[in-house]
Amino acid sequence: MIRKNKNHKAKKLRLAWLSYADLHNREGLLQLDQLFMEYCARQRTGVEQRLLAFQSSPDRLDQQRYSELIIEVSPHIERFLLQLFRLDTQVLSDKYQDGNLRLILKNKFVEVAYKKFFKPDLDMSFSSVHSWLASQVPLHESDVARFAISILNDQDDVAYKRLLLWCYYVSRDPTLFPEAKAWYAFWRPEKNIMEAVGVRSHGVDYCYVSDNEIENGRDNFDCVADYKSSEEVHTQNHYCLTCHDKQVDYCRSGFYQVKRDPDQGFRRDASDMLMSGCPLDEKISEMHWLKQRGFHVAALVAVMIDNPMCAVTGHRICYDCMRSCIYQNKSQ
């Protein structure tokens, strides 16, 4: 049963071109396609020519050039759809921007401090550098992230070294500042444990169980990982190495016995399951690539090429893509 959203207020939604009724019949969709091609032509990048060439003989493109076309076209579809539905993604972008701040703290400070051979070039005790940091900014992740950015913008070398030293201490000994355990910047992938995601049955129902023992059942169509904060989603998005350009996006294609040689068949994982990749051939890597760059709707476009019913299938259809990811020894 689909629940009705009681908070929904009837709004008069108008499309920029055509009408909603046009979206429900073939003639209207052909008109929409024509409008999109005209839109692309106005961009003067030649993208509509490449799209037409692909449409006339789709098999001409190999996997790599197909990926490039998806990455090129999807942001145009995003911009076109935003104009069509008179939307803007500013709210989403702002939320994502906040995640980006934390990512800078993570990449420019925490990850540097985590490096095995990193040696701080400041001689300050933890308590001194901790007091200094607490005197600069409240010790909440988003505030420290903003502070980190101001240090980089101002090219403040002293503050840079101090914050790096603080990250170094905390990364080496989390008991010094236990709150950082919950910080996105300090998140580290763990060594993979077999069957990190399992299936548990409750009578006729079943649910997926994540590695932190949280059950994710299907509740009507709400199969979404709402136990993940936007920061965690952001982390996972950036954790993906977007392997499509190196043609090793095994999450999609499956993990071959011999690199780039499908004829040799797929490998098996530790539990003897075939690592055959996404059964729908979803463009997972391309989706992550687009999302990493803030093209939220374009990322959805990349998913919907192979899974137009993704609103129904939810965030995870099966376990096959995770099992085949190149991260075999780390959490996926």
- 303 touching ligand SF4, by CB under 6 A: no
**Contact with ligand SF4 (CB under 6 A) among 164, 275, 298, 325:** 325
- CB 242, CB 292: distance < 8 Å: yes
- 284 touching ligand SF4, by CB under 6 A: yes
- 235 touching ligand SF4, by CB under 6 A: no
| Residues sharing a CB contact under 8 Å with residue 91, sequence separation 6 or more, in sequence order | none
> From the CB of residue 288, how many other CB atoms can be counted at a distance below 10 Å?
23
| Axis-axis angle for helices 47-56, 63-84 (nearest 10) | 120
Q: Residue 222: name the closest of 207, 238, 242 by CA.
A: 207
- 251 touching ligand SF4, by CB under 6 A: yes
DSSP string for residues in 42-92: HTTSSHHHHHHHHHH-GGGS-HHHHHHHHHHHHHHHHHHHHHHTT---HHH
**Contact with ligand SF4 (CB under 6 A) among 48, 141, 231, 249:** 249
Give the binding range for ligand SF4 (CB under 6 A) out of 95-103, 194-202, 281-289, 309-317: 281-289
* Per-position x/- string for 43-62, each x denoting binding to ligand SF4 as judged by CB under 6 A, each - no binding: --------------------
**Contact with ligand SF4 (CB under 6 A) among 54, 118, 160, 327:** 327
- 285 touching ligand SF4, by CB under 6 A: yes
- 241 touching ligand SF4, by CB under 6 A: yes
| Residues sharing a CB contact under 8 Å with residue 201, sequence separation 6 or more, in sequence order | none
d(CA 258, CA 277): 15
Least spacing, CB of residue 189 vs ligand SF4, in Å: 11
- 319 touching ligand SF4, by CB under 6 A: no
Q: Which residues bind ligand SF4 (CB under 6 A)?
A: 240-243, 249-251, 284-285, 288, 325-327
